[in-house]
Every structure is written in C-alpha cells, then in structure tokens.
Structure 1
Amino acid sequence: MIKDKKYLENKGSQCLDLAKKFGATDCEVLVSNSIEETVSFRNKILDESNRSDSLVASITTFIGKKKSSIASSNLLDENLKTLIERCVETTKLTPEDEYNSLPDKDLYSKSNLNLELYDEQNYENDKKIDYLKELDEKVFEEKKVINTESGFSQNKSNFILMNSDGFQGSQNASSFSASCVVVAKSQDGMERDYEYTNKCYLNDIKKPSELAKLAIDRTIKKLNPKKIGSEKINLIFDKRIAKGFLGAFTGAISSSAISRGTSFLKDKIDQEVFSNSINIIDKPDIKRGLGSQIFDREGVQSNELKLIDNGVLKNYLVDTYNGKKLNLKSNGRAGGSTNLYFEKGKKSFDELLNLTSRALYITETIGHGTNLITGDYSVGAAGYIVENGEIKEPVNEITIAGNFKEMFKNITLADDLEFDYATNSPTMMIEGMVVAGK
C-alpha cells in the first residue's frame, strides 16, 4: 500500500521545521511514494515480474537568493536531520542568483477539484498474467506472427508538496498500461509494430483481444514493403506520429529554452507561427486525463492555456525561475505541458486522404532528428503510398525532412481527435515535404 497523506504530511512538516532551524530563509519539500508492478511475457511465456517501491523526500533550501537541493530515500529522523543540515550548509556556499525564489504567493493553487486520477482497484499479479496470456493467445492466432513481447504495468502514487510560504498540496494517482509488440514474417522478410493502452482507471484500458487485433493489423500491413525514389510530396501523419510534433512545439516554447535563446520560436509571441486554422490547447483539468493536475511541481495553479489561437502563438510554458528571467508570471507549467492537443480539424480521415492524388501516409519514424534552435527536422520513416484516396502498398527506408517554420504553416488536420495519451493529435497532413528514398 502507498503511504497515506498523513504520513507524507508529517515528513514534509518535519523537513520544513528542520530547514528553518538550520537557517534557511525559505524551503520547499516534496515527499512522494510510488509503487509499480510490472509483468512481461515473451512468446506466451512469463519473462519477468517486478515490483518497485519508491519513497523519496526532495528538499530545496533558500538563503536569500542562494539555493540548493538534496534528495534521499532514507526518511528516518536522524538521516533527515543530517540531510537538511548539509543542504543548508551547501546553500550558504552557493553563489547568489537574482532569479531564485519561491513562486509569487498569489499564484498558489487553492483548488480542491477532484480530477478522478486514482483508481482504488488493485490488479493482482495472477490477473496481469491472465491478461497477457489472453493477449498472446489472440496474437498467435495469426499464422504470420513469429514473435511477441507483451507487458502489463500498474502504478499507484501519492505525493505532498509543501513550502515555507504555507502552501500545501497533495495528489494521488494511478495508471494501468498494457503493451503488445508483434513480429511477423513473410517470404520477403520480417516486420515489427506495436500497440499499447494506458489509462488512470483499470476498466478504461483496452481489452486483450482489441489490443491484439490492433497490433496484428499494424504489423501484417507492413509486410513486403517497397522502396521509392526521392521526391517532394504531401505527407499524412498517423495520430501516433502527429502528436510528436506537439512535443517538439512544447520544447520550443518552454520558458527555459526561450530564456536561453535556444528556440526557433523566441520572440514570436502574438505572431502567426501556424496556419490560421490551427489551435493548440493545454488543458490540465480533464477528468481521468493522463496529464491532468491541479497545480504544477511548484504549487502554482494550472489553468487551461490556449497556446496557439488561430495560428498565433499566445503563451509560453512558464515556470517561476525562467519566468522571472523573461519578466513573465508562472502559468503553472513547471514540469511542462499537461493534457496537450491540437483542436480537431473539419475534414474526415477519408477527406484528408483525398486532398491530393498521391501522398505518403507515415506510420513510423526512426531517430530524433529535431533541432529546436533552427527548427530543422529530419527522421527516418516508414508508411504507405496513398493514391486517389486509397492506402496502397507499404514503403520503408525513407527519410523525411523539413523545417518547422514552414511545416507548421502547411498543416491540415482531420476531425478524428481522441484522448488516448497526455499529448494528442488528430491525423495530420503537411504539404510539400522532402522525401529521400532509394
């Protein structure tokens, strides 16, 4: 069982009292406990079963504008005393930084909204094993499958955040996830693909048969790929790939990147950086949302942000330290985005496929070819040829390239948005990208 709020609160209060006793002018304490249980199968045979229990106190002490941090998993009284005394002594030796401080007091969260992030259900190991057995049995009904790797993970966590300004906030959360990796073989070779499901509540995850079918379908369709030549062509990105562009976007609008000047979106507030049909929203208060939170890791209230409004950049993701550098108030995004998504477009998936006589439908990217300083983007990819609205034969061993400055302004979105992850996108088309093939 995870530690209850009272236990975490007692440890947090103890840390705050010790920090003040040893001379800190301000202090922030995070006490967290998480228990994760994981079972994995390989080819219908139990491969591994693990359980990890993490209990950690992270303490940050301030003396004026000096700051230092320390963390430990030993929460015995004598160790905490030694730990915090050492942290305060280290703070005294640390150079001053004018931007070091706790958040402005008026920004702390006072909300008691219930986001329904914790499921009391506990899936015992034999149930996890039964789930994976059923999953693998369904996968191997397809004769072309030669290998599988599957896993089931359950995580329960609780934390309390406290500081010397009097803020105190806690949150418990749960997550249940299952994954299935499939390898299939034909006369011309082997292909691999996967599917997974991840939810806060056990009853919301996909059933084994559904997960198996999705993983099989994705893998079998990739068999017998062909090579194509180099060209400039419209690319249609599967939702799993399209959401990755939001990850690059949030990296470029983080206040740390902006304050360091290492982002191609520096000084772009109130400028059009996407086409005027695009809206991007970060919504922290979705019930059972994988990225939901009432407050950020500094205790600042997290409210809904419209990051892109009809193509125009309206907000950065701002924490306290970098916000002070930029003369901006924290908007509750220490730690990054919450539930981030492109607002859905107006065209159906089929209409998107029919927008051009020939395109490539990208279902997999390989590598991390993103440069957030210049906006350059280049990755290996695989997918399918699309002709006259129909998905045809698979293709692989291609490289796709472009620059986000142009790519963002050439996006068309479908209306098939679903909230399966913390970051979500509908199917996306980007016009006129460069593809390098054989």
Structure 2
Amino acid sequence: MQQMTAIMPARRKWRDGLREEFFPRDRRRDIDGLRALAVAAVVLMHAGWLSGGFVGVDIFVVISGYFMGRSALMQDPFQPARFACRRLYRLLPALLCMVAVISAGMLWWVLQSDRADIALNGAYALVYLSNIWAAGHVGYFEGQALAYPFLHTWSLSLEMQFYAVIFVVAVMLPRVRWRLYALLGILAVSAGCSLHDHLAGDGQGYYRITDRMWEFALGTLIWMLPRPRLPRAVANVAYALALCVLVGACVFYARDYACPSWGVVFPCLAVVAIIMLPHTDVARVTLGPVSPLGVISYSVYLWHWPVIVLANYLLMFQVAGLTMAGVLVVALLVGLLSYVFVERTFLDYEGRAGTVARNRGALALVCACGLLSAGLGYVSYTSRVH
C-alpha cells in the first residue's frame, strides 16, 4: 500500500511537470496556438504540401512585435540590460547549436562550391545578417534554395534587427507617448517601402527589414489600441473569422501574395484580431490544444529546414511523399530535444542567475557566435580560393 502511494505522487508529479512545461499557466495558449499554426504552415510549405505556408512568417512577425511592445516600449523605465539578456538567451543558444552541428556534419563532405556558400550563409546567420546574404544569393522560392541549410535563418535575422530598432527607440525616447509616435512613423515608412517594392516587382524585398517592419510595428501597436468589448457570441464569431482568414491564406495563397504584396495585410490583421480577443470559446477548442507545438516552435523552426536539406543531400533525390513525412518526424523530434536540452536550459538559467552572471553569460554567447561566424567565414574563403 505504501509502495502504491509512493508511485502515485511520482506519476502525478511527472504529469504535472509535463503540463507545466507544455501548457504553462503564465502564457496565453491561443498565442502559442498561433505559433503552432505558423510553424506548421512553414514546415508544410517547405515539405511541398502547402502553397501559402510563407504566411507563417508573417504570423511570427506580428506576434514578435506584440511581445516586444510589452517588453520594451510599454516599460517605464526601460531596462536595457534585462531586455538584451532575455533576447540573447532566448535566441542564441539554439541557433549556435544548430549551426555548429550542421556545419560539422556537412562541410567536410559537400562540394567545395557548396561548402563555400553554406559556410558563408552560416557565418551571416550567426551575426543575424542572413537576410542580407539571402537577398544577394538566392530567391526564397527557387529550387536552388534546397542547397542551403541555413537559408531559413533570414527570418531570425529580421527579428533580431527589429529588436535592435526597438531597443534604440526605447532608450532614446523615455516616454511611452513619444515611442508611439516613433512606431507610427516606422509603420508608415515601412509600408511605403513595401508598397514601392511590390509595384516595382522586386521579389527580394521578401528578405528586407524595410519591407517587414510595418508587420512588427502592427503587432507592437496592439498594446496602444483600445481593447474591444464585444458580447461573447460576437467575439467568438470575429475570432473564428480571423482564424479562417489565416488558415485560408496558408492553404490558398500563391507565392505572388508573399511580402511585399497587398495580400499579406489580411493575415496580419487577422493575427491582430486574434490577439486582441483573448479567452474566447473558439480559442479554447482550436488553438489551445495545439499550443504545445507553439511552445517548441522556435526549435522546430530552427531544425526542420536543415533536416530537409540534409535528407536531400544524403538520399540524392528530392524528398517527397512518405519519405518527406519521415523526415518531418525526425525534424520534430530533433526540435523537441533542442527545446528541452538547449533552449529551455538557457532560459531557466537566465531566469535564476544573478545579474553579473547573467550578463557575463550573455557576453559569452555573443563571443561564441562571433568566433564560430569567423571560423565559418574562413572556411568559406579558403574553399573559394582553392
């Protein structure tokens, strides 16, 4: 009897730990569900199963802007060191691990020309300039994209560049009202740049921060907009319509609707509507159940594309069908391991470490990324020379 009593609390503790990890109480499950929808859309597009999966990036961008509004622009006073450390611990460890593992596993056996480009792309990814490298080397929707395992890091570079802009705005403008005006100015200028590139047919605007900044700013503005007070039934209908817009865009959009394009306005506004309507019944039965995938979405996003590229290299044919399904299962498992042992570990450390230790750890992460970036740059240079 005593043994059974001991086993039951152990099982309960194990289950409670899993529930707390993947259904955390301090997070909005519907936003994690949005993340799940976004990463699923991107992964399925890369698998060749979804034409409009690029909308997932737009979803991520608006969500990122929303959280940066709370972390930076709505903070008075703003804490620069705390903000920077949180971002660095959140993003750098998993990225550094992925680039290091894939580089070590691929660069010694691929062709010299491929080695040079892959290494250079990895070097740019580690200093968050991958979008600039991509804009000058490869179209996102072209077949040759399968040769570059770090190409997907262009969106992470956009995110970090946005963080830098928000950091400067928060430091230079101490009052929230001033920050609002700056944000509106950023949104207007970026929307103008995106419209110009759309009319000019400049597809490489897909990678540019100037063409995406309005999406980030739109998410940040959520904190400064009045909250709608709708009857429960009306809120559910509005939420369902916004979710249908997102799913419909992911399923039916063609690449012509990718940013810069007027078509991205609708999914971005749908994300804003969903974020501004929390705790609806529709959210609980649709986005809530898939929220665990949203919790690990960053690591899944990091690893899914390198795994797909590596599979195409090793199998020597373009992976599709059941083979692709197996590849995606592997990518999901690797992403889960990355979340548990890398991403979560460093975030937990950042949360409990003292100020000095936390700051030194962030500096060490930056230095590690810089050193590996320099090493990959050297590999790229020597591969081209010889």
TM-score class, shorter: under 0.3
Q: TM-score normalized by structure 1?
A: 0.23
Kindly indicate which of the two structures has a greater share of residues assigned to helix: 2
Kindly indicate which of the two structures has a greater share of residues assigned to strand: 1
